[in-house]
Chain A
Amino acid sequence: MTVDTVDVEWADPAPIPVRSKEVRRLGRVIIRFAGDSGDGMQLTGDRFTSETASFGNDLSTLPNFPAEIRAPAGTLPGVSSFQLHFADHDILTPGDAPDVLVAMNPAALKANIADVPRGGEVIVNTDEFAKRAMAKVGYDVSPLEDGSLDGYRVHPVPLTTLTVEALKEFGLSRKEAERSKNMFALGLLSWMYHRPTEGTETFLRSKFAKRPQIAEANITAFRAGWNFGETTEDFAVSYEIAPATAAFAPGVYRNISGNLALSYGLIAASRQAGLPLYLGSYPITPASDILHELSRHKNFGVRTFQAEDEIAGIGAALGAAFGGALAVTTTSGPGVALKSETIGLAVSLELPLVVVDIQRGGPSTGLPTKTEQADLLQAMYGRNGEAPVPVVAPRTPADCFDAALDAARIALAYRTPVFLLSDGYLANGSEPWRIPDTAELPDLTTPFATGPNHTLADGTEVFWPYKRDPDTLARPWAVPGTAGLEHRIGGIEKQDGTGNISYDPANHEHMVRTRQAKIDNIAVPDLTVDDPDGARLLVLGWGSTYGPITAAVRRLRTEGLPVAQAHLRHLNPFPANLGAVLAAYDRIVIPEMNLGQLTSLIRARYLVDARAHTQVNGMPFKAEQLATVLKEALHD
């Protein structure tokens, strides 16, 4: 396996016939497109990603955008960027630092140049470097002329002018023509990195199907960018990154983002359970895309209900669960806070419910478009009373599919609300996904109660809504419409078995302990540890830190430093072997995008000296920094 630690590999030029210029082969490249919020950088990044995916490279993406829809033009807070890491081998992160920065304006340059290592390539749209635009971000002198970019390979390109020139036949206003400059940039980068172009052209024709002139203008700009690369002397070299053939198991692949994979996982779970999917939700960044996606698939029997608030979103979902649906609510941290009381009711009612939390920076409104893992303790404990809820966390964008199925499995089998803790980084990031064979998806069939389940002393057959399955401790799911099973449930403490209101102290003690035991006994697979070298140091993670942690671990191992790695999917209950795993290592480091929430849980539960390495800057960990932290942990 090729490792992630190798920097850009410069190989001998391998010219290909159709190209007139030198071609070099690279192992991997990190590109960052940066521009104004209105410049279409996310679309440009998405298209380059699609081209790259269809070419067969492994890839990982990091969209990064402000919470404002259109922040003031040309300002630093308004900069939107999209970073893409692609390679001829398997990779795990969107990359620490871009090899190539495309800066569409002075703000984009200023906000991003510090991340580009010296020697990196910087493509600058010189048209936007007017005095006023530069002054807006504090450039008194043009950075293109004052020598501050001397260490970089700068390509000054008048992107706007070239685009307008290329589109002059279209009779568009200058403003309309300028809008295609992102496609010019995409064309240029597509030339530089030998990306296939058919997909983008097809995409543009379909996107602007109702405005064919705009479609053709964008395609013309895209081709003009490609041709510009091929003809201008400033771009002397183009690069090939071979498909990552060895990185992928045989199969059919597509590129997928975390929120899309999660949406598909929910639809798949609905099919595998044979139950209609019901989503009750209120729009919130970064979870809204799941509401949007599920709303598109009504022909799967999916009902989506955009509620008046977060509370009604989960309320409607819980009502649908009572009626026998696979019920889901989707939100982010602030929404979870509002839903807490209803989650507690679901714990008491013991009905299946998937609560999806796409975590973002907090507290309060926090950083809506940035990532964080700081809702773990909210998911674990954010309710009144003893109200245990299982917690499941995906580790990569594509893994959101499997994690959604797993959350639904637990919810249905144990009749309990389940937290599915994704985050903004997984939600918007994307990677190649091997499309699963739907015949091999897990069976989630959950039978409803159909008749009496208890015999009274006098021989009468009755239905007891809180008589439990002895193995799972789940209570029967008796849905309205089933004759003879009419029953009343509620949030008041219930008598064991009958479900009638009970204030009896001994019964409450029994019920609290039983609800806890039900969650503690949920079947989750043992934690697997990757430890080829008999390490003394274990790095333990959960959720979206999987990519950076794994990349960092590879770096250490390449240097001959032994380090063991384990990653938790189930945060509640923990895998049964977790205690034994922890006990086997001298040192345990837990990197988290919070102030040590998993570390607190681990230390409290297992009495081990696990150390947190924390970061709360709204961005994922960088592999290099994590590698340094792990090295330090090895040596002290």
Chain B
Amino acid sequence: MTDTQTAPTPAPAPLSLVPAAQARQSAKDFKSDQEVRWCPGCGDYAVLAAVQGFMPTLGLARENIVFVSGIGCSSRFPYYMNTYGMHSIHGRAPAIATGLATSRQDLSVWVVTGDGDALSIGGNHLIHALRRNVNLKILLFNNRIYGLTKGQYSPTSETGKLTKSSPMGSLEAPFNPVSLALGAEASFVARTVDSDRKHLTDVLQQAALHPGTALVEIYQNCNIFNDGAFEVLKDRDQAAEAVIRLEHGQPIRFGTDHHKGVVRDPATGDLHVVEAAGNEDRILTHDAHATHPTTAFALSRLADPDTLHHTPIGVFRSIQRPVYDTQMTHQLDTATQQHGPGDLTTLLTGNDTWTVAG
């Protein structure tokens, strides 16, 4: 290692550099004066209410919170938050937020994006933000459809999807956002559902406290163009059998009376759903902090892409690794320690000069 390299700096305690609120806050403090203009019945309302409701629990100065979004229905989100905000251009929110987060460690920076914004036009920025582990919290509203442009298939739409731009069925294989994020070296990946306020809030809380980039995929219903896309995960009668709630340190069991569980096939390493009875000692215990993403990835592939049966929700992965903006600041500090604060005259003068006398 040469003297110009820097060892990873431990990240400061999460949010410790963001000033605390001076007074007790309520959800009302986070509501802007703008009229919310999503379609009646849109899942976005539930997410907005959950975020506004949970923000006060962070106890952060409101002026040090920034929401940055791209383009799409969900990207109107910042207008409704009484914080700083930027509604930017299609797909670029992670890049813009990266510039803000890496230049201002005293801010809590949130990105609001959708499946088209994050995974199609902005796919490159998303994967590189995750790879770098910049201190960003990314809320990916996945409704598996293009809403704002009125109903074309999206990169998460199922193959064969009938839409205006695919009247004979979409030919495309969808992305699995959790798999994608894990492949992009994400240090925190979670999935939740718009209608489950408690779960949503719990996941957001964990994301907020994570040092580095956190990606939260939120299954969100578009009641106009893709209504009921996640109904199987919400319907009381079906959800118990369809949803696998991941909790760190707990056995991965689900179904009525937890009669099912997830086990690893010793031959292939794949995960399977089995009847829990008789298999208790084989059932996996969820480890969100596992160093390797292998099991988290396998969990992300568990759901049936057509029926959504066996869909895990919760935190798939939450590990500690060097945070980009912390490291960047550390390099500036190290350079200043090694060379002293920059002196402009010395810089401009350089080493090779000559003098012309008057």
Contact = CB atoms under 8 A, between A and B. Distances in A.
Contacts of A489: 85-87
Interface in B310-358: 328, 331-332, 334-336, 338-342, 344-345, 347-350, 352-358
A487 B34 CA distance: 11
Contact of B106 (A251, A276, A481, A501): A481
B226 to A, nearest CB: 24
A525 interface: no
Contacts of A316: 95-96, 98-99, 102
Contacts of A321: 99
Contact of B102 (A303, A491, A501): A303
Interface in A242-296: 245, 248-255, 264, 267-268, 271, 276, 278, 280
B242 to A, nearest CB: 36
Contacts of A303: 102-103, 328, 332
A480 B356 contact: no
B342 A491 contact: no
B38 interface: no
B4 to A, nearest CB: 10
A268 B102 CA distance: 22
Interface in B144-173: none
Which 9 pairs of residues, A with B, have the shortest CB-CB distance? Answer: A319-B99, A490-B87, A315-B95, A316-B99, A300-B342, A250-B358, A298-B335, A312-B95, A488-B85
B199 interface: no
Interface in A140-194: none
A483 to B, nearest CB: 5
- Among B65, B81, B336, B342, the most chain A Cβ lie within 10 Å of the Cβ of B342
Contacts of A490: 78-79, 86-88
B328 A323 contact: no
A438 B344 contact: yes
A220 B263 CA distance: 72
25 contacts: A251-B355, A251-B356, A252-B353, A253-B353, A267-B347, A278-B102, A280-B99, A299-B332, A299-B341, A305-B102, A305-B328, A311-B95, A312-B92, A315-B92, A315-B99, A316-B99, A319-B98, A319-B100, A324-B104, A435-B353, A480-B65, A480-B100, A481-B19, A486-B84, A501-B79
Contacts of A315: 88, 92, 95-96, 98-99, 125
A488 B32 contact: yes
Of B85, B103, B338, B353, which is in contact with the most chain A CB atoms at under 10 Å from its CB? B103
Contact of B353 (A254, A311, A324, A483): A254
Contact of B98 (A252, A305, A345, A487): A305
Nearest to B98: A316
Contacts of A436: 348
B135 to A, nearest CB: 13
Nearest to B82: A486
A254 B99 contact: no
A481 B106 CA distance: 8
Contacts of A253: 353-356
Interface stretch (B40-48, B56-64, B250-258, B268-276): B56-64
Contacts of A438: 344-345, 348
A500 interface: yes
A320 interface: yes
Contacts of B334: 298
B296 interface: no
A276 B103 contact: yes
Interface in A469-489: 480-489
Nearest to B103: A320
B200 interface: no
B353 A322 contact: no
B87 A491 contact: yes
A320 B335 contact: no
Given A489-B85, A500-B34, A54 B103 contact: no
Contact of B357 (A250, A255, A483): A250
Given A255-B352, A481-B64, A301 B99 contact: no
Nearest to A436: B348
B84 A488 contact: yes
B97 interface: yes
Given A56-B354, A307-B95, A316-B96, A481 B104 contact: yes
Contacts of B347: 264, 267, 297, 300
A325 B78 CA distance: 22
Contacts of B66: 322, 480
B329 to A, nearest CB: 9
Interface in A304-338: 305, 307-309, 311-312, 315-325, 327
A250 B84 contact: no
Interface of B: 19, 32, 34, 61-66, 68, 78-79, 81-89, 92, 95-104, 106-107, 124-125, 128, 328, 331-332, 334-336, 338-342, 344-345, 347-350, 352-358
A587 to B, nearest CB: 38
Contact of A305 (B99, B336, B353): B99
Contacts of A297: 335, 342, 347
Nearest to B349: A435
Nearest to B324: A305
Contact of A319 (B64, B95, B358): B95
A444 B36 CA distance: 40
Nearest to B97: A319
A254 B349 CA distance: 7
Contacts of A311: 92, 95, 125
Contacts of B81: 488
Contact of A299 (B99, B125, B339): B339
Given A305-B99, A319-B98, A486-B62, A345 B353 contact: no
B354 A54 contact: yes
Nearest to B71: A491
A486 B99 contact: no
Chain B CB within 10 Å, residue with most, of A276, A300, A315, A349: A315
Contact of A488 (B86, B89, B348, B358): B86
Contacts of B102: 278, 303, 305, 316, 320
A321 B344 CA distance: 23
A341 interface: yes
Nearest to A315: B95
A248 B84 contact: no
Given A278-B99, A316-B96, A316-B98, A486 B357 contact: no
Contacts of A345: 88-89
A424 to B, nearest CB: 23
Nearest to A501: B79
A346 to B, nearest CB: 10
Contacts of B339: 299
B99 A298 contact: no
Contact of A491 (B19, B89, B352, B355): B89
Given A252-B353, A312-B124, A486 B83 contact: yes
Nearest to A434: B356
Contacts of B83: 486
A50 interface: yes
Contact of A312 (B62, B128, B328): B128
A551 interface: no
B319 to A, nearest CB: 22
B104 A323 contact: yes
B12 to A, nearest CB: 17
A488 B79 contact: yes
A298 B92 contact: no
Contact of A249 (B88, B95, B356): B356
Contacts of A300: 341-342, 344, 347
A487 B80 CA distance: 10
A355 interface: no
B125 A312 contact: yes
A50 B352 contact: yes
Contacts of B97: 319
A342 interface: yes
A327 B104 CA distance: 13
Contacts of B350: 254
A492 interface: yes
